Every structure is written in structure tokens, then in C-alpha cells.
Amino acid sequence: MINKLFDSPEAALADIADGATVMIGGFGTAGLPNELIDALIARGARDLTIVNNNAGNGDTGLAALLAAKRVRKIICSFPRQADSHHFDALYRAGQIELELVPQGNLAERIRAAGAGIGGFFTPTGYGTELAKGKETRQINGRMYVLEAPIHADFALIKAERGDRWGNLTYRMTARNFGPIMAMAAKVAVATVHEVVELGSLDPEAVVTPGLFVQRVVKVARLATSAGGFKEAA
């Protein structure tokens, strides 16, 4: 029988090793799998390469992982935020390596890894500092830059509902990088707010088919100060 359900975030991340490349879903805090990041901090793995759109907000989640000095390198599109003080301090002190990638190239490089693509030509970034040293090519009169896929050992993502096969649905813009990161990692770990019986997710509405997901953990829904979240049924 296939059963991808794990009892706790800690159990789901017990084998992340030092030096691993870990993708973390989320755009700002929407879709950020906080429980998995806490478990990653507790696990103690060091020298990590992290792939996320941002570089942490405030003092929790990804920011806490950075503050704990577990991250050697971050690959992201938008590190600088009003509340990115942990990243800012590490970066200014030369204690973290930054690979800055235009957001669409970041998404497509992740998707390419999951889709088995060896590289792709994109017009984004052509002629800019972020394409320096990269191969370029003229195709049908337009200039393109060769970009490489980004593979990961683990992807930590936040979904809404899941079943024991790993089929997932998401909630609104919390979806963001989740589906493509799940494809690009050897081990994709998803939190869900609701575990449902096999067959009860509408097959027409499954966003991430279970073959892209190796582990599923149920976590409680957190109410925000705005009251936008409700406790999962």
C-alpha cells in the first residue's frame, strides 16, 4: 500500500543532510511552509543551499533559518524587503552567498529541472548584469540567454489538501512555487491542512499529481492577526 503520510514535520525531514539543496515554497509569507522550516532548523542540517523567491521576512520561518546560520547560499529573486534584516546582516557581513535570478527565470529553471529539460533560452535578462557571462543566441531576430535548470534534494511546500498518494490542491496565491518545486526535487514534502480519503479530491481539480510528492504532513491552520485564516475543519 502506498502511504506518504508522515506523523510530524520532524519525521518528514529526518534525513536532510548537511550541504543539501532545499527548495522552499512561498512568495513572501503566502505559501511559506513554516512548520517544515522549523523542523529543518530543529534537524540542524548546515551548509544548505536554499531556493526561495525571497530571503526571509521578520524573525520566523526562512528568516529564522538564516539567523541560525544554516544557509551557505540562497538562490532567489527578491531578497531585499522592509523586514529582511537577517538576510541583510548576513549579506553585508559576507556570510551568505546570493545568486540573484529574475523571478520568471527562477520559476522556469525550477520547472525545467522537474520536466527533464537541460536548459532553455529566455529573453529575460538579456543585456543586463544578471545575464553576464551566460551564453546568448539570436533566434528569429530576438536575443535570448541560456539558463540552466535548478535541481534540489528536497522541496518543502505548503498545500491545502492532500491524500495518501500525495495528490495536492492549494489555496489561492499560496500555490505560487509549490507545484514546480515539487517536480524539481528528489524528495518533495508538503504540508496540508486537511488529509482526505483517496478518491475524494476531484480528479479534475488536482493541481499536483501525487507522483511529484513523496511525503505529506498535516499541520494545523494558523489564524492570522487579520483573521483571514480559519482553523481547518
Partner 1 sequence: MNMKKWTREQMAQRVARDIHDGAIVNLGIGLPTLVANHIPADREVILHSENGVIGMGPAPAQGAEDYDLINAGKQPVTLLPGGAFFHHADSFAMMRGGHLDICVLGAFQVSASGDLANWHTGAPDAIPAVGGAMDLAIGAKKTFVMMEHTTKGGQSKIVPACSYPLTGIGCVSRIYTDLAVIDITPEGLKLIDKVDGLSFDDLQRVTGAPLMN
Could you tell me if 149 and 173 are in contact, meaning their C-beta atoms sit under 8 angstroms apart? no
By CB under 8 A, name the one of 4, 23, 31, 67 that touches partner 1. Answer: 31
Residue number, 44 or 119, with CB nearest to partner 1 = 119
In angstroms, the CA 77 to CA 53 distance is 5
Query: How many Å is the maximal CA-CA distance in the chain?
Result: 55
CA distances from 81 to 42, 71, 111, 125 (A): 26, 18, 25, 21
In angstroms, the CA 166 to CA 215 distance is 7
Residue number, 49 or 105, with CB nearest to partner 1 = 105
Using rule CB under 8 A, residue 130 touches partner 1: yes
Using rule CB under 8 A, residue 219 touches partner 1: no
By CB under 8 A, name the one of 69, 80, 137, 186 that touches partner 1. Answer: 80
From residue 175 to residue 214, the character string flagging contacts with partner 1 as x (rule: CB under 8 A) and all else as - is xxxxxx--------------------------x-------
The span of 12-20, 37-45, 84-92, 212-220 binding partner 1 (CB under 8 A) equals 84-92
Residue number, 1 or 92, with CB nearest to partner 1 = 92
Could you tell me if 185 and 156 are in contact, meaning their C-beta atoms sit under 8 angstroms apart? no
In angstroms, the CA 191 to CA 31 distance is 10
Using rule CB under 8 A, residue 228 touches partner 1: yes
User: 28-41 burial by CB neighbour count: b if 16+ within 10 A, else e?
Assistant: ebebbbbbbbbbbb
By CB under 8 A, name the one of 70, 86, 111, 161 that touches partner 1. Answer: 111
Residues that bind partner 1 (CB under 8 A): 27-31, 53, 77-81, 84, 87-88, 91-92, 98, 100-108, 110-111, 122-130, 170-180, 207, 224, 226-229
